[in-house]
Amino acid sequence: MELKRVVVTGLGSLTPIGNTVPEYWDSLLNGVSGADYITRFDASKFKTQFACEVKNYDASEFFDRKEARKYDLYAQFGIVSSNEAIKDSGIDIEKIDLDRAGVIWASGIGGLITFYNEVTDYAKGDGTPRFNPFFIPKMIADITAGHISILHGFRGPNFATVSACASSANALADAFNYIRLGKADLFVCGGSEAACSQPGIGGFNAMQAISTRNDDPKTASRPFDKDRDGFVLGEGGAALIFEELEHALARGARIYCEVVGAGLSADAHHMTAPHPEGRGAYNSMKTALEDAGLSTTDVDHINTHGTSTPLGDIVEPLAIVRLFGEHAYNININSTKSMTGHLLGAAGAVESIASVLAVYNDVIPPTINHYTDDPEIDPKLNFTFNKAVKRIVNVALSNTFGFGGHNVSLIFKKFKD
């Protein structure tokens, strides 16, 4: 069968460096760090006392008090960012086939804050089981997809994807495939996460996965730098509208770019550590290129997973050089996690927006906080350190990897009729 073409027609985001897409993009280009000391709880006894929290967020601006009580913070982030994307797309709900409009929404963890609060309250009590009737619906990872569909009447395919930090990239890959197979006209796809909490920080501290640079939080996320000491936990949400090309053209939609390839793989190696040779990363990128019908020399930009962890930041460049050969040195590579921190299950979507806008605007955001080269990383690679770069970006690849060895690579291409 002939596959349909898929384009991006709407964007929405709520991030540690901007609560709308224009704010987020402006901060990316200006190298703004979203890291600061934690405000949501007293973190003075934790090994890590900072995170990339969403700033100046007031739920009452988006929900009435009764409605807000039904949503965990991760779901609020998802609803707000998806509403922005739908508005940005210019979709007229009354003029589309709602049976062919779907939602695929991701979260790696779901309602962690709700779970923590409910269990803590129970443990402090006398053992009488008093739980909020919204406890389970607020906590489960699929509920945001349900809320988005209910709010807008989208009756097409509706589900959640969970693959740790690759979750929202999986959501985008699934939406891409459903549309090109002709099973839907459009999707709201993306992810949200709100794990900047006591169990979130404490759990990642116990794993020794996050930075403890408490004396200088804003420079703590330093991908590919010799002195990196772990990722910085982030939160927020990001939504993209994926749409079948003819459907978008028929309604006169603005098209940001085309989605042309998706590659998925597994490391099959370790619960949390990447394959030491980057085998999974190599396979997901290779599969995405094959899916798109592109060669390695077509790629202009790679937004890496680049978390600022000791092992991951060595392995991914190895995979890039292995796959792209000499052309790897012509590619502008970056890690926007240097600014946003790591949004866990929402990372793939928020970074895909950065890749889409790089293609649309022909400018690549920097990798900030680079001070010292790592001798274990190929010095000829161009990581776009510390300053945005203007160049023609016809093809951008976005990598997202997750605990459990999940790998997703997505390819965005400048739209041409």
CB–CB of 274/399 below 8 Å?
Answer: no
Q: Which residues contact 135 (CB under 8 A, 6 or more apart)?
A: 114, 118
* Contact indicator for 105, 144 with CB cutoff of 8 Å: yes
Q: Which residues have a catalytic role annotated?
A: 165, 305, 342
Q: What is the 3-state secondary structure (H, E, C) of 263-279?
A: EEEECCCCCCCCCCCCH
| Whether 319 contacts 305, CB under 8 Å | no
Q: Which residues sit opposite 242 in a β-bridge?
A: 8, 187
Beta strands (DSSP E) in 100-247 are 101-106, 158-161, 186-193, 236-244
Task: Collapse the DSSP code of 305 into the 3-class scheme (helix H, G, I; strand E, B; otherwise coil) and give the result.
Answer: coil
- φ and ψ of 63, to 5 deg: -135, 145
Gap between the Cα atoms of 415 and 213, Å rounded:
42
Which residue from 15, 3, 21, 6 is spatially nearest to 411, judged by alpha carbons?
A: 6
Q: How many helices (H) and strands (E) does the chain have?
A: 13, 14
DSSP-derived secondary structure for 146-161: HHHHHHHT--S-EEEE
Distance CA 31, CA 17 (A): 10
Q: Which residues contact 38 (CB under 8 A, 6 or more apart)?
A: 49, 50, 51, 53, 196, 201
Burial profile 22-52: b = 16 or more Cβ within 10 angstroms, e = fewer: eebbebbbebbbbbeebebeebeebebbbbb
Q: Are 348 and 308 in contact (CB under 8 A)?
A: no
Output the DSSP codes for 220-249: ---TTBTT---B-BB-EEEEEEEEEHHHHH
Output the CA angle 354-252-153, nearest 5 degrees: 75
